[in-house]
Structure 1
């Protein structure tokens, strides 16, 4: 499949999606590369080595400390999705160029081929379609991914790139199945990140233990889905549950552009960056 984006012309269009397009001046653009890092048990791209996407901002300087944002793919996706389909680097370049956010480092991990799979944690079903959702099994898988990232991915990121190491410097965003991982981070790595984006995630049932953590109520959150998204009811339920728990800094957004799709997640990513993580 090829993706073609046409520059906005008000004579023929009424919606300006220029914010998704590359900056005209290539010197103002960041750089996207894919890196290998040591991850015992991984089977891709080779034994005990795993892969992640990395965006470095224009003018990247190792003497500086940048915020680091983790953007996670969904079910069946990979570390390249946020760049290939989401065009996240274009969105970020334009927000940096307009002064709506500072330069950042972005990491796009891959939860597959770590040496274990969702099916390894299955309980009542090995079918991960949402009609027969194995909630216990997928939560156990998310916990295993979290532990793996904290053991191998995040130490490598902080050793390799010029990123801040305080919670205020870190954020985690995920879509669909990756939204489930974002909630796992919110529940069980609450103090590690400052802001969370949870997009089109099913289901959303915060454990009582997580709600009792004081820091849980201070985090900045964006919940979102498409108007025609099968995950929309879960997003609305999440907003209600978190509000009842006393979480203050919640923003929710329902995109009218589509369903469980990239046009929704692109829009949510832009809102997260300029109105949640880096809101004035």
Structure 2
């Protein structure tokens, strides 16, 4: 059935006269007033002009050109914005950056942020009506960022590990090493600083000669006996070195040196 004649929206927002078969050149004024009847009658066969234009909100006739071109019937539903997906994607980027910094604190903070991003991406992915690409990208980045951060942290720990044993642990001896001191190593016993009995004997003889005592020169082995006796005593190395140099012992050990010397005379002087 054809659309009856009348004023309709021609799709441009203006009211144009439809003669029942086609559009005419008659357009309603913008102030809403109807065109003059003379203008409508100027077109042969045109119907009489109505007193007022059609109300814009009146129901349109099926098949009317105004219905086909009217923007009033356009669909208004649109997808909601993916707010949660965008937040999850931003958290995934932040967590990846923190996890790739090779320090324990930043790694664990980044791992926690990546876990939150993973959960938020899953929730945003299964929510209906919103765009899903941010949640998909955030989900993938949270997984890849966690893996990359773990590899970076392991490499940093391996490269930064000390080459020697851990502090506080005993250092094992090298394989094949014995407990004996090397023969060519420096001497560490008292022979390195304590004068020998022969040296002490020569110094004791010089001391007696200094005091005018020479009667023991004819007694073989006397001074060597004294040197051995003094060497085996409790006198310090410094006191014995002074005796070996032919100098009287002074200081706190003088009394002890006199007593040991007297005992050495008794022990080494042969019976008459």
Do the two structures share a fold, i.e. TM-score over 0.5?
A: no
Bigger Rg, structure 1 or 2 = 2
Select the structure that is richer in helix: 2
TM-score of the pair, normalised by structure 2:
0.16
Select the structure that is richer in strand: 1
Tell me which of the two structures has the higher relative contact order, counting C-alpha pairs closer than 8 angstroms and 6 or more residues apart: 1
